[in-house]
Amino acid sequence: MQFAVEMGFKEESLATNTSINEWKQWKANNCQPNFRQNVQPDPTKSCGPYHPDYARSHPVEPRYNSEVDKGNHDTIGMLVIDRDGNIAGGTTTNGANHKVPGRVGDSPIVGAGCYVDNDVGGAVATGDGDVMMRFLPSSIRIAAVMDD
């Protein structure tokens, strides 16, 4: 916030009536959906505060619908080439509702959602950001092109 104010932006709430009502409904529904895993109290029944549950530290089946439709995604990847042939790439993230505070998505992770090598090309990817951060598909694709 301090940086934005120093750059001339006024400090104001970005909450809307819609977002406030969604938050109230989420709280009334025991904070569901909730992406926390291996914590206590049970994240499917409570809003926390949470602490690690080391006895449950094992993979947990996802509790979300992985089917993609127009209402549950909006990630964008873009590659551009300027008149001198320089390539630039960028991605956005879908801004998942009710994510764990402090979670970092795939957009800022080099090679996950986007990778560019000016001598080779660029690649962008979309999908489950948590999976993409593990496998770095964009950088793998460019590395494969380099090997060809």
77 a known binding residue? no
Question: How many angstroms separate the CA atoms of 124 and 138, rounded?
Answer: 6
**Structure confidence at residue 18 (pLDDT):** 93
126 a known binding residue? yes
Cis peptide before 41 (omega within 30 of 0): yes
pLDDT in tens, 127-143: 778 788 889 999 999 99
Nearest Cα residue to 36 out of 50, 22, 26: 50
**Structure confidence at residue 35 (pLDDT):** 81
pLDDT in tens, 86-126: 999 999 877 667 777 777 788 888 899 899 999 999 999 88
**Which of 54-58, 62-66, 73-77 has the weakest average pLDDT?**
62-66
Which pTM value belongs to this model? 0.59
Please give the CATH topology (third level) of the domain spanning 77-147: Glutamine Phosphoribosylpyrophosphate, subunit 1, domain 1 (3.60.20)
Q: Distance of alpha carbon 53 from its chain centroid, rounded?
A: 24
- The catalytically annotated residue of 16, 75, 91, 92 is 75
Question: How many angstroms separate the CA atoms of 148 and 112, rounded?
Answer: 21
- Whether 75 sits among the annotated catalytic residues: the reply is yes
Annotated domain spans of the chain:
15-56, 77-147
129 a known binding residue? yes
Question: How many angstroms separate the CA atoms of 16 and 23, rounded?
Answer: 11
103 a known binding residue? yes
pLDDT in tens, 3-41: 989 999 999 998 999 999 999 999 999 888 888 888 899
Antiparallel, parallel or unpaired: β 39-40 and 51-52: antiparallel
